[in-house]
């Protein structure tokens, strides 16, 4: 299935995402290393063991990227022009190695673009939960989406 066209994005529309993903130690260490983040809380098991969490936390920017990635197939795959921003990003509960993340998206707002007649601006709310149903991340994401081409009307 391709992503949604602008016309498909009615405020209140809820989109549960079929793909979920378990986070591994490699994901966390590799992402932290690639982004030059030497925070011991992410990459040093001995240091992390002395924290209130008792183990490494998954890098929150990896979590945010995973949340957006898990949402792409059913929201913006092949229909996005650009991400415009992500606001109100929150991480109410830590993600640990082995957690399985699921995402549900809701269309919060949609308006036609003032400068691009072939596109509109949509705001999605993404909510991620772990395998126990605990919310681990939320964000509002603003995207510029293509309008449905005339040759695909009704498709």
Residue 18: DSSP 8-state:
S
Tens of pLDDT, residue by residue over 41-62, are: 999 999 999 999 999 999 999 9
Average pLDDT across the chain, whole number: 95
pLDDT class for 150, splitting at 50, 70, 90? confident
Report the pLDDT value the prediction gives residue 2, as an integer from 0 to 100: 82
Q: For residue 85, give the 3-state DSSP assignment.
A: strand
Enumerate domains of the chain plus CATH numbers.
6-152 (3.10.129.10)
CA-nearest of 69, 68, 56 to 28 is: 56
Q: How far apart are CA 13 and CA 65, in angstroms?
A: 22
Tens of pLDDT, residue by residue over 63-110, are: 999 999 999 999 999 999 999 999 999 999 999 999 999 999 999 999
Query: Residue 141, class by beta-carbon neighbours within 10 Å (0-12 exposed, 13-18 middle, 19+ buried)?
Result: buried
Q: How far apart are CA 146 and CA 153, in angstroms?
A: 13
CA-nearest of 70, 67, 86, 76 to 17 is: 70
Tens of pLDDT, residue by residue over 110-138, are: 999 999 999 999 999 999 999 999 999 99
């Amino acid at each position: 299935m391709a992503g949604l066209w602008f016309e498909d994005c009615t405020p209140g529309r809820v989109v549960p995402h079929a793909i979920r993903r378990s986070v591994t130690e490699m994901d966390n260490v590799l992402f932290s290393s690639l982004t030059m983040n030497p925070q011991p809380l992410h990459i040093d098991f001995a240091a992390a063991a002395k924290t209130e969490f008792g183990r490494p936390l998954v890098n929150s920017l990896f979590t945010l990227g995973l949340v957006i990635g898990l949402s792409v197939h059913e929201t913006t795959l092949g229909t996005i022009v650009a991400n415009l921003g992500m606001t109100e990003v929150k991480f109410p509960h830590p993600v640990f190695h082995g957690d399985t993340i699921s995402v549900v998206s809701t269309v919060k707002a949609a308006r036609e673009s003032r400068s691009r007649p072939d596109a509109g601006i949509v705001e999605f709310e993404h909510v991620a939960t772990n395998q126990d149903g605990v919310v681990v991340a939320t964000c509002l994401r603003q995207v510029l989406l293509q309008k449905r081409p005339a040759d695909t009307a009704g498709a």
